[in-house]
């Protein structure tokens, strides 16, 4: 790929105007939208409105003027992105907390089965939360096996298969329909973590016959740092499952102030406490951008950006750990290299922000809403340069950071 070819792709790119909707700093090529999405321009006005007018002027009346329904309203918008029905998704709490709720609820379906099956090397919070969830359910236990052994390990004792659809480090993608079918055939349910796939790849929860899913909104949905996460429960499970975090906002009648808990119908039962409205407002502004784009164009562009960076990585001699088949991966690309940390820091010093995942992965997020083909081409050129001239060996780039 030449610079002119990249520019020709940009000239024909139907998503190119979306770049103006993000407040990205000058001189930065942002390849970390898979960890923290950038600020949408519209979020500023949304935050001003929620603070100045909704909170400042309308005060508590705002709960009846759109706040109380925000978790289901925003959930319905996210549902459209993940192949769910509008009434199957709710927004609230963190992905970690939602995962806990989903796992405990799923473990309680059949007390005769107690195993949560997952993969070793899953995102740490998934395994940590599963450890905590099994400790809350008598007879339950966690079994994590290497990725290649997961399918064969779905035995009669498995209650829940817990998988991250797109792997945070390698971007490997599970075949959602196949794994869901395999789990169902063995009598288990599946909890999918969509954190690295929501807004990154096409998802069809309904088509896959999915049971439960959770996902993060501060990555590809651009909801802001620590934005509330989402939880999906297929309609067929909604009245049978309830949340172990049985808080008042999940009650059928929160303002009856009853002593005894009675779960709300539908998805509201998964709420625990009061929704964080400032964060909800930012999230909604990010999610609303998705209504304006042709999603098929997003997935196509993601594959084109990937090809540009894969070619640059190959030219630089970097081993790629992300599958080449677009159907088998997410929207980031990862290279395994012993000096990945230093390379990441050297790139950041030159304006290309990616990230490092310990111990040896350089990870680059390819987000079609605000990256051009030229951006990715330039980032690839810089990567080749830094490797060729060995600037990454500068001792400054070895200084460790608390958050990577």
Ligand X SMILES: Cc1ncc(COP(=O)(O)O)c(C=O)c1O
Compare residues 168 and 192 and give the one whose CB is closer to ligand 3DJ: 168
**Binding of ligand X at residue 32 (CB under 6 A)?**
no
Compare residues 13 and 126 and give the one whose CB is closer to ligand 3DJ: 126
Do 19 and 367 meet the contact criterion of CB atoms below 8 Å apart?
no
User: Binding partner of residue 403 among ligand X, ligand 3DJ, none, CB under 5 to 8 Å per kind?
Assistant: ligand 3DJ
**Binding of ligand X at residue 222 (CB under 6 A)?**
no
- Between CA 227 and CA 237 the distance in angstroms is 26
Is 323 labelled as part of a ligand binding site? no
Q: Smallest gap, in angstroms, from Cβ of residue 258 to ligand 3DJ? A: 36
Do 217 and 283 meet the contact criterion of CB atoms below 8 Å apart?
yes
Q: How many residues make contact with ligand X (CB under 6 A)?
A: 13
Q: Smallest gap, in angstroms, from Cβ of residue 397 to ligand X? A: 24
Reading phi first (left if > 0) and then psi (alpha if -120 to 50, else beta), residue 88 is in: alpha
Active site residue 123: yes
- Between CA 45 and CA 281 the distance in angstroms is 10
User: Binding partner of residue 119 among ligand 3DJ, ligand X, none, CB under 5 to 8 Å per kind?
Assistant: none
Is 196 labelled as part of a ligand binding site? yes
- Between CA 250 and CA 191 the distance in angstroms is 20
Binding window for ligand X (CB under 6 A); candidates: 54-62, 90-98, 102-110, 354-362: 90-98
Do 60 and 67 meet the contact criterion of CB atoms below 8 Å apart?
no
Q: How many residues make contact with ligand 3DJ (CB under 6 A)?
A: 3
> One of 123, 168, 370, 397 is an active-site residue; which one?
123
Active site residue 219: yes
Instruction: Indicate the residue whose CB is closest to ligand 3DJ.
Output: 168
Structure tokens at 291: 């209504």
Active site residue 193: yes
Is 220 labelled as part of a ligand binding site? no
Binding window for ligand X (CB under 6 A); candidates: 59-67, 91-99, 203-211, 323-331: 91-99
Per-state percent for the chain, helix, strand, coil, to nearest 5: 45, 15, 40
User: Binding partner of residue 206 among ligand X, ligand 3DJ, none, CB under 5 to 8 Å per kind?
Assistant: none
SS3 of residue 59 by DSSP: helix
Q: Helices 373-388 & 295-315, crossing angle to 10 degrees?
A: 20
Is 248 labelled as part of a ligand binding site? yes
**Binding of ligand X at residue 195 (CB under 6 A)?**
yes
Burial of residue 187, with CB atoms counted within 10 A of its CB: 0-12 exposed, 13-18 middle, 19 or more buried: middle
**Binding of ligand 3DJ at residue 403 (CB under 6 A)?**
yes
Active site residue 375: no
Identify residues 96-155 at the interface with ligand X (CB under 6 A).
96, 123, 125-126
Q: Choose which of 168, 174, 237, 392 interacts with ligand 3DJ (CB under 6 A).
A: 168
> What own/partner pairs with CB < 8 Å and gap ≥ 24 does 392-401 have?
392/339, 392/342, 392/343, 392/345, 392/346, 393/342, 394/346, 396/345, 396/349, 397/341, 397/342, 397/343, 397/345, 397/346, 397/349, 398/341, 398/342, 398/345, 399/345, 400/341
**Binding of ligand X at residue 370 (CB under 6 A)?**
no
Annotated active-site positions, please? 123, 193, 218-219, 363
Residues lying near ligand 3DJ in the complex (CB under 6 A): 35, 168, 403
């Amino acid at each position: 790929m030449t610079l002119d070819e990249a520019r020709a792709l940009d000239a024909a790119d139907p998503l190119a105007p979306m770049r103006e909707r993000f407040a990205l700093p000058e001189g930065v090529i942002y390849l970390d939208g898979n960890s923290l999405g950038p600020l949408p321009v519209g979020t500023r006005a949304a935050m001003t409105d929620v603070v100045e007018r909704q909170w400042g002027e309308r005060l508590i009346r705002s709960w009846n003027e759109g706040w109380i329904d925000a978790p289901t309203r925003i959930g319905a918008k996210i549902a459209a992105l993940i192949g769910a029905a509008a009434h199957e998704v709710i927004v609230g709490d963190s992905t970690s907390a939602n995962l806990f709720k989903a796992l405990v609820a799923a473990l309680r379906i059949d007390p005769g089965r107690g195993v949560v099956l997952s993969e070793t090397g899953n995102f740490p919070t998934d395994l940590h939360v599963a450890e905590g969830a099994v400790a809350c359910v008598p007879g339950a236990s966690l079994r994590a096996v290497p990725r290649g052994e997961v399918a064969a390990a779905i035995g009669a004792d498995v209650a829940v298969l817990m998988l991250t659809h797109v792997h945070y480090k390698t971007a490997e993608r599970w075949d959602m329909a196949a794994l869901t079918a395999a789990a169902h055939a063995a009598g288990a349910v599946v909890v999918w973590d969509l954190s690295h796939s929501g807004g990154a790849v096409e998802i069809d929860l309904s088509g896959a016959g999915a049971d439960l899913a959770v996902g993060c909104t501060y990555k590809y949905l651009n909801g802001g740092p620590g934005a509330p996460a989402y939880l999906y429960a297929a309609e067929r499970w909604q009245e049978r499952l309830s949340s172990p975090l049985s808080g008042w906002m999940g009650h059928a009648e929160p303002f009856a102030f009853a002593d005894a808990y009675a779960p709300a119908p539908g998805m509201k039962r998964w709420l625990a406490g009061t929704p964080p409205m400032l964060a909800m407002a930012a999230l909604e502004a990010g999610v609303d951008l998705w209504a304006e784009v042709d999603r098929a164009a997003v997935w196509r562009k993601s594959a084109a950006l990937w090809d540009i960076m894969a070619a640059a990585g190959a030219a630089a001699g970097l081993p790629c750990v992300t599958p080449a088949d677009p159907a088998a991966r997410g929207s980031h690309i990862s290279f395994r290299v012993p000096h990945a940390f230093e390379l990441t820091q050297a790139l950041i010093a030159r304006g290309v922000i990616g990230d490092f995942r310990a111990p040896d992965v350089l990870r680059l997020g390819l987000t079609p809403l605000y990256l051009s083909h030229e951006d990715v081409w330039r980032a690839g050129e810089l990567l080749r340069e830094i490797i060729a001239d060995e600037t990454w060996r500068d001792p400054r780039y070895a200084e460790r950071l608390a958050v990577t």
